[in-house]
Amino acid sequence: MTQKIRTRFAPSPTGFLHIGGARTALFNWLFTRRVEGTFVLRVEDTDQVRSTEESTRAILDAMTWLGLNWDEGPYFQAERVGIHREMVQKLIDEGKAYYCTCTPEELEAKRKKAMAEGRKPKYDGTCRERGLARSANSVVRFRSPEVGTTVLHDLIKGDIAFSNEELDDLIIERADGYPTYNFAVVVDDAQMGITHVIRGDDHVNNTPKQIQIYEALGYEVPLFGHVPMILGADKARLSKRHGATSVMAYQEMGLLPEALVNYLVRLGWSYGDQEIFSTEELIAKFSLEAVGKSAAVFNPDKLLWLNQHYIKTYPEERLIEAMLPFWVQRGFDVSDRPFVAKAVSDLKERAKTLVELADSGAFYFLDEIPYNPEAAAQFLTPEYKGHLEAVADRIPALDDYTKSGLEAFLRALAEERGTKLKWIAQAVRVALTGRTVSPGIDEVMVTLGKQRTVQRIRAAIARIGTAG
């Protein structure tokens, strides 16, 4: 019987979920969903100083927003400290770990001496054979093999061999009784039955140490896959100076979760030349074999291009739901859902983000339109006053108040008044929106309705009169 695949995502709650972590979670999730395995969420909160409930909540919210649902958890590593201590004691009892009382000052001196002598600054084994007992400031170190090699069979990078003499007797339990990352992660992954550990390649150098701990504890070693890091355009590791790195910052910027997921999966993975994938397609097509070995470069413009595509093609009701918070945040009344739906429909073809859509559509919800000074100076002038009066006078009696009906009406009016359609349309546009750029003027007029359209044109005419 084939073993059921179990993967995990194990963030540390010391900050928000960042782009790199989100992509790691996504790769785990897609890999697991394709094989109908189990995706486990474990919060690695044993860093008692830096871990916070706020960060935990932010990470869970980001996972939920991205649609990365988990099958088990969230488990909390700090709740398992008793189990970790038992496993540490097991290694001590078997002579595979030992107590160390070297102070931070002594360790720093050893490090400097090693570097000065051209040696690798690893622990020199001072306490390795001293047979010390636990004391107030003692830590526990793993007795790493001193000869031979440890081989990582990486599903993405291939085989990587590490010389054991290069590896350290790493600390597995701190003086405060809490396990270190490299020890706790092994115990938790093993006891939770994790079969595949897919994570960022910044963990590659931790892996041989972890393999040794698996073997020392008698656990089966899982399969590892290390995904390449994400770089900024300058080929430096992605950081805040390249723009937002927090997942929820992208939500606040007005990105749709599907767009971010689609973008993240293409950072280091490809399927031919295809750029846009539904969730179902990603699950069906994702494989670790197609994950690249080299670092991926984050391109904000590409992300915005994808987001614009998703805004255009998003199901109407879901796009409205996504938009509502942005307009509510601006203090607009969004209780008239049919009106909101029309506004969204008018605006979605041009917007790259929901913030852009919200800002470009603000004019729909305002009682008084702020006119762009340049637009007003060009089109809200005595020269255009007669055109605007003619539109305002005739709209109430217009029978066909549809997009096509308004287009025909404005075209006929331009011909009657001996001018070009674009001059009447632009004057009306500025009167209704305050700007020279907006959705189609016929769309705007239909969405605003006869009453609001006439009121706004009359207000613009009054402004012309005042200015004159």
State yes or no: is 240 an active-site residue.
Answer: yes
CB atoms under 10 Å from CB of 465, counted, come to 10
Q: Cα–Cα distances in Å, from 254 out to 17, 88, 230?
A: 17, 47, 22
Backbone dihedral angles phi then psi of residue 399, each to the nearest 5 degrees: -80, -45
Contact 76, 45 (CB under 8 A): yes
The contacts of residue 324 (CB under 8 Å, 6+ apart) are: 334, 340
Contact 169, 143 (CB under 8 A): yes
* Cα atoms in the 13 Å half-sphere on the side-chain side of 417: 22
Give me the residue label for tokens 């900024």: 232
Contact 56, 107 (CB under 8 A): no
CB atoms under 10 Å from CB of 110, counted, come to 16
- Cα Rg for the chain, rounded, in angstroms? 31
| Of 333, 335, 357, 356, nearest in space to 347 by CA | 357
Query: Which DSSP category does 17 fall into?
Result: P
218: left (phi over 0), alpha (psi -120 to 50) or beta: left
Give me the residue label for tokens 């637009």: 375
Choosing from 112, 120, 240, 293, the catalytic residue is: 240
The contacts of residue 427 (CB under 8 Å, 6+ apart) are: 379, 380, 384, 387, 388
The whole-angstrom separation of Cα 319 and Cα 335 is 16
| Of 148, 106, 105, nearest in space to 124 by CA | 106
**How far, rounded to the nearest angstrom, does the alpha carbon of residue 329 sit from its chain's CA centroid?**
22
Give me the residue label for tokens 């070693």: 221
Catalytic residue positions?
A: 240
